[in-house]
A and B are shown apart, each in its own frame.
Chain A
Amino acid sequence: MTLTRIIRFIAILCLLQSVSLWAQEAQPLQTNATVEVQVERLSTQLRCLVCQNQTIADSHAELAQDLKQEIREMATKGMTDQAIIDYLVSRYGDFVRYKPPFNPATSLLWLGPFGLLLAGGIGLFVMLRRRQKMTTDAPLSADEARKVSELLK
């Protein structure tokens, strides 16, 4: 800690008492807390369309702020998550949502990982069965073992 910071720290310590006399509660930016929870939840799943790759929750871009305000208005009207997302998708396309929909074009995306897991599992099973049936157990032949120990000397 630099000297100036220490001094500032002490100064604040001294000020603390007096500060608390005129301290007042900070007002929340948005008054409706339940709506705000919904807005937060939705804005972490939606893309800021003009940014590199940011959700509208993270972005400071004007468009993101506008979209957020729009969502807030819809949420205040009591629209559900799904209704709000549907509306935004109809306006901006699937690009706006970070969770792609399941349709023919994205089926490979959604099913791919589980297909891969299945293939990996079957491959593993077949391979283990084959290993188990192996009769000879020769990790290293005597000649190989000699070579290895020679090389590692």
Chain B
Amino acid sequence: MIPEIGHFSLILALLVSLVLGSFPIIGAARGNTVWMGLAKPLASVQFILIAFAFLCLVYAFAYMDYSVLYVANNSNSKLPLQFRIAAVWGGHEGSLLLWALILSIWTLAVSLFSKHIPDDMRARILGVMGLVSVGFLLFMLMVSNPFERLIPAALDGRDLNPLLQDPGMIFHPPMLYMGYVGFSVAFAFSIAALLGGQLDAAWARWSRPWTILAWIFLTVGIMAGSNWAYYELGWGGWWFWDAVENASFMPWLVGTALIHSLAVTEKRGSFKAWTVLLAICAFSLSLLGTFLVRSGVLTSVHAFATDPRRGIFILAFLVVVIGGSLLLFAWRASTVGRGGKFDVVSRESFLLANNVLLAVAALSVLLGTLYPLFLDALNLGKISVGPPYFDAVFAPLMAPAIFLMGIGPIARWKEAALPELAMRLRWAFGISIATAVILPLMLGNFTPMIGFGLFLAFWVFATSAELVYQRLGKSDLPLMGRIKANSRSWWGMVIAHLGIAVFVLGVTIVKGFESEIAVKMLPGDVAHLAGYDFTFDGVMDTHGPNYEVSRGQIHVTKNGVLRTILEPEKRLYTVTNMPMTEAGISPHIIHDLYASLGEPLEGGAWSVRIYHKPMVEWIWFGCLMMAFGGFLALADKRYRLKKRAPSKEAKSSKEATI
């Protein structure tokens, strides 16, 4: 009964979102305040209905209702409760429901925190979000219903993919989706602006915090996914250029361009059309990513053909959303105006150049991700596009972007002088070149790639130092006062940029200096790597809730002093009969020691791989710094909702009229 109620709730939600997607937008066009006023309450109702449907599915998972097809396919009675709940988004149908739920959360949030936005604008924004919701709910109800019954019911479920039975599964997808779907707000703001013909600095100021918030979620989500892969896949990689990763990375690249472009639109009134285009692209890529990952098209183009209804719906939906918004853009972009004049050498042009690089990088990733699908669909052969391609294409695009990142914040708006910039940056340049040459030689391994990576990282460190010194140095205030004299969003920018540098440093060092050994170990055997002695203590067989586990123990000493114990595991999930590795990692700011257990060999020996990964944690710490920078920017005073004061005024004026 509960699944039927959930299903019914989804149908009601569809009806609500249909009204939300039509009446407020028409009302805004006609100046009908009653119709516009519908948007806010409908956003709440939509949220309640979808959240209720979602809870119904959670209930079906938690109470193991295997008469629901989706539950039977993605869960099992031996699966621990936290994973049974996370299994709600473990498959296609449930992740669509999570998507719709998160969209309704964002819609609700916009309706609650938009008191300062004019009524017609708000009505349009919520209406556009309602239309997106219509698409997703229709898709679910027509071809991907998570509540579909299985009659007769299964005795037990087929279990969640063991790869997903990890704490990472609980946080990573919701975070990522918060980011993906969060760009729908920026998208809705843009479409609303195009519809209303109102696109100015105020518009940029309203949409900026929403975009930054979505970007923060996406950053943290991608970081969590990368970290998860690092310890789950058992060989210490952290980025694979897998299509699934690319699907989340493309919106991130465009979203990053978008938050910079929005900054210019707010401060200088320029880049308006470009900002709108980026917002449309960021959301389009989010949609594309969701469907790429979830439709099965990546495994094989022919998976599309096994259920053509799904494929056709997806294509139609993408065409309507992306094509429709681009058409609207082409039709209305000329009305938004061009903004202020600026010189070829100016902060605007540096930012624009960076935007172009980020956009080209995103398109290149898209090209590499979709190309094999196109070739296959056209019967031109099967190829694989992997890390060698993406590294070759991506690095040359990002290097100049990071270089420009050092200059942009120092250059003046409107008109900057190259000689003056060169004067101010000569120290930073000298320091970063010197570091790039000397540091690798000191560490004993110089290659052009290491040198170049270090140069970029220290270039950003040094230019940021110069920037902070210039802002803080020339003042009589005490230090705290000087720090506070600069806005939080400025500090956010500095910290996020430093995060990029920390990230680049981590990547360069770990790629340049990591080492590994593969050994055969009997209990008591010692292996040596990077000055550490790894002693194998043996393997203990035990079992988890739904898996058998062989847990190895390796104690690590340096000069006879015990440093840490690594416990790599090899698990066999009994329901699906799938082996999984769980690496034993000792994370540290300087380096990670990483061990993974291979196969048992004859005579009680095991094959063991041991890795020394210097500064690998800096990669994720850099991402966290970027996200923290975003938070600081959000906390900026000018985004504080000044709703109290105006609403009080409004009230008193109302009372006065009465």
Contacts and interface: CB of A to CB of B under 8 A. Distances in A.
B383 interface: yes
Nearest to B385: A100
Contact of A9 (B240, B340, B562): B562
Contact of B243 (A53, A97, A132): A53
Contacts of A106: 371, 375, 383
A9 B557 CA distance: 12
A113 B367 CA distance: 8
B368 A109 contact: yes
Given A28-B517, A60-B581, A139-B339, A99 B386 contact: yes
Contacts of A60: 579, 581
A106 to B, nearest CB: 7
B202 A152 contact: yes
Contacts of A53: 240, 242-243, 298
Given A26-B522, A120-B359, 15 more contacts: A9-B565, A23-B524, A25-B527, A28-B518, A28-B519, A47-B384, A52-B299, A96-B384, A100-B384, A105-B383, A109-B368, A113-B397, A117-B397, A139-B268, A153-B642
A125 to B, nearest CB: 9
B342 interface: yes
B562 A29 contact: no
A8 B565 contact: yes
B264 to A, nearest CB: 11
10 contacts: A16-B555, A28-B518, A55-B387, A95-B383, A98-B388, A105-B375, A128-B352, A139-B270, A147-B202, A148-B202
A24 B579 CA distance: 30
Contacts of B543: none
Given A28-B518, A55-B386, A138 B340 contact: yes
Contact of A29 (B240, B270, B518): B518
Contact of A139 (B269, B363, B581, B607): B269
A12 B523 CA distance: 13
Contacts of A136: 341
Nearest to A152: B202
Nearest to A144: B200
B344 A23 contact: no
Given A109-B371, A132-B343, A95 B382 contact: yes
> Among the interface residues B343, B534, B535, which one has the most CB atoms of the partner chain A within 10 A?
B535
Interface string B360-394: 10011001100100010000111111111100010
Interface string B509-536: 0000000011111101111000000111
A19 interface: yes
Chain A to chain B: the 6 pairs with minimum beta-carbon distance, closest first:
A98-B386, A139-B340, A99-B388, A139-B269, A113-B364, A26-B525
A97 B521 contact: no
Interface string A118-153: 001101100111011010111110001001100111
Contacts of A108: 367, 371
A32 interface: no
A82 B24 CA distance: 63
Interface string B237-278: 100101100000000000000000000000011100000000
Interface of A: 5, 8-9, 12-13, 16, 19-20, 22-30, 36, 44-45, 47, 52-53, 55, 57-58, 60, 93-101, 105-106, 108-109, 112-113, 116-117, 120-121, 123-124, 127-129, 131-132, 134, 136-140, 144, 147-148, 151-153
B114 interface: no
B235 interface: yes
A113 B526 contact: no
Nearest to B361: A113
A32 B636 CA distance: 60
> Among the interface residues B339, B384, B525, B642, which one has the most CB atoms of the partner chain A within 10 A?
B384
A140 B201 contact: yes
A29 B526 contact: no
A23 B381 contact: no
Contacts of B478: none
Contacts of B55: none
Contacts of A16: 555, 557, 560, 562
B202 A151 contact: yes
Given A95-B382, A99-B386, A120-B356, A58 B562 contact: no
A26 B526 contact: yes
Contacts of A12: 537, 555, 562, 565
B384 A26 contact: no
B430 to A, nearest CB: 28
A84 to B, nearest CB: 15
B517 A19 contact: no
> Among the interface residues A26, A140, A148, A153, which one has the most CB atoms of the partner chain B within 10 A?
A26
Contacts of A93: 381-382
Contact of B535 (A23, A99, A105, A116): A23
Contact of B562 (A5, A13, A137): A13
B389 A98 contact: yes
B385 A98 contact: yes
B388 A24 contact: no
Contacts of B534: 26
